[in-house]
Structure 1
Amino acid sequence: MAPETGGGRRQRLRREAWGFAAGSLCFLVGAVPFYAEWAGPVVVGWTFFGGSILFTLAAFIQLSLSGRHLPRKGTGRADAADWWASAIQFVGTLFFNVSTFGALLAAIADPTRLGVGWRPDAWGSIAFLLSSALALVATKDRGQLWDTQARTWRATWLNMFGSVFFGFSAIGAYVLPDTGTFYNLLWANLGTFLGAVCFLIAALLSRRTIGADEPAAAPGPVAA
């Protein structure tokens, strides 16, 4: 935890950031070739699936339990972008739930099949990119947000870079119909690894100020 900032105020990791950090760590580890060789396809499948579930739980907290409200008439641009960024991110995690679970079932059914294992899907990656773009809009006017600490430029850009890396990974994981091979397996693995690193750092930087002399800010998000 961060040290006290003065007047009894401290900064602590946001509660949903724990889920994002743990989920990112699962994707980071799962993308390491040495781990895949040591653990085998089934364990790697469980690693990615577990990470996707942690992402979804964290995204649910970020969207539903952090103080955000569904945009309505009169909602400012920053708050509207903030809500939509979180909502689209949550949908993106659901896509990853489906793809990682499918890969896990395939690995259990035949762990020796060539190419078995999870690769980033296009729909989840597109959702993450769109969410990150909306987060940039929200961060631009973060002083008008429901919680002024909910978005920071460091976390927002780190998550944008992570989403871009996941996008490259999804492209690399595209299976060429003529050959049945991946477009670029290096892109697929490296994009997942670097994206997870960005998401992990962004989660660890996500802090909120608490203290007896000032009401604690509503638990907010790691920037999408």
Structure 2
Amino acid sequence: MDQALTRPTTQLNLVAAVAFVVGGSLFALGAAFAQLGVVSLPTVNVTYLVGGCFFSLGGYVSILLANNTDTDTGERTPWWRFRPHSRSWLSAYVLFVGTLFFAVSLVAAFAAGLTPRQSDGWIWLPDMTGCVCFLVSGRLAMLDVGAGRVRVLAHLVGWWVVAVNQLGSVLFFLAGIAAFTRPATSDEINTGLVNWGTFAGAVCFAVGGVIQALDTPTTTRTAVQP
């Protein structure tokens, strides 16, 4: 592969990896704060919000990375390109959309005096939509790294990135379900599952980011045969 292509690919991969490490770490910290009750709620919300910004950065850079690894022209990486027939691009795009839904939820969390219905509409629903996007993105990524099939490829670093992140997505989804506010009681279904599920899922994304930093994305697709 042309060196002009390899250099930006490596740089984009590192930026995305660092963004997910920082975002995952802040989400884990926010969940620990919420569970242990050692800081105020606004501090928890700010921690989550900053972490969400890093997740969005990682999601967008992942789109650029997909653009760069799926082309061999050596051209400068475009800020945007519509490539719906590429699994890696679709995975990154859906992931990025998911981070935007998370952002809506994280900003809405700062609102005071919300009724249970309003809380579910402005916080829980965008959060669950983001969780579903993460699951879909992970599924597409598994198909991409497996050349059209979901399979175990333990010899590939890229497979471990996808697998660990997908586990994190499942944990986020379970935490999201538990965060539904019951109108009758104004309480979440299971606060402990919300916090610990978010914590464990966030740790998965942070670990996935560390593994991604060690990955060479340009070799993943050529190492797997359909």
What is the TM-score normalised by the length of structure 2? Answer: 0.71
Give the 5 Å matches for 1:1-224.
14-33=14-33, 37-64=37-64, 67=68, 68=70, 70-71=82-83, 80-106=86-112, 121-141=127-147, 152-207=158-213, 217=218
Output one character per residue of 1:118-169: Cα deviation in whole Å (capped at 9) or x when no partner: 7782111111011111111001029xxxxxxx97111111011000000000
- Does the 8 Å contact 1:21/1:203 carry over to 2? yes
* Unaligned runs of at least 5 residues, structure 1: 1-10, 143-149, 211-215, 219-224
Q: Percent identity?
A: 29
Q: Runs of at least 4 residues of structure 1 off by over 4 A?
A: 33-36
Distance 2:198 2:94 in 1: 20
- Does the 8 Å contact 1:138/1:151 carry over to 2? no
Distance 2:34 2:27 in 1: 14
Distance 2:109 2:215 in 1: 40
Quickly say closer, same or farther: Cα 1:204–1:44, change in 2 above 3 A.
Answer: same
Shift of 1:33: 4.2
Larger helix proportion of the pair: 2
Distance 1:153 1:30 in 2: 28
Distance 1:44 1:182 in 2: 17
SS at match of 1:99: helix
What is the TM-score normalised by the length of structure 1? Answer: 0.72
Quickly say closer, same or farther: Cα 1:177–1:184, change in 2 above 3 A.
Answer: same
Segment drifting more, 15-24 vs 97-106? 97-106
Quickly say closer, same or farther: Cα 1:166–1:39, change in 2 above 3 A.
Answer: same
Quickly say closer, same or farther: Cα 1:61–1:217, change in 2 above 3 A.
Answer: same
Amino acid at match of 2:92: S
- Does the 8 Å contact 2:34/2:44 carry over to 1? no
Distance 1:171 1:34 in 2: 17
Quickly say closer, same or farther: Cα 1:217–1:134, change in 2 above 3 A.
Answer: closer
Distance 2:195 2:39 in 1: 16
- Does the 8 Å contact 1:20/1:55 carry over to 2? yes
Distance 1:34 1:182 in 2: 13
- Does the 8 Å contact 1:25/1:51 carry over to 2? yes
Amino acid at match of 2:39: A
Aligned residues: 182
Quickly say closer, same or farther: Cα 1:30–1:155, change in 2 above 3 A.
Answer: same
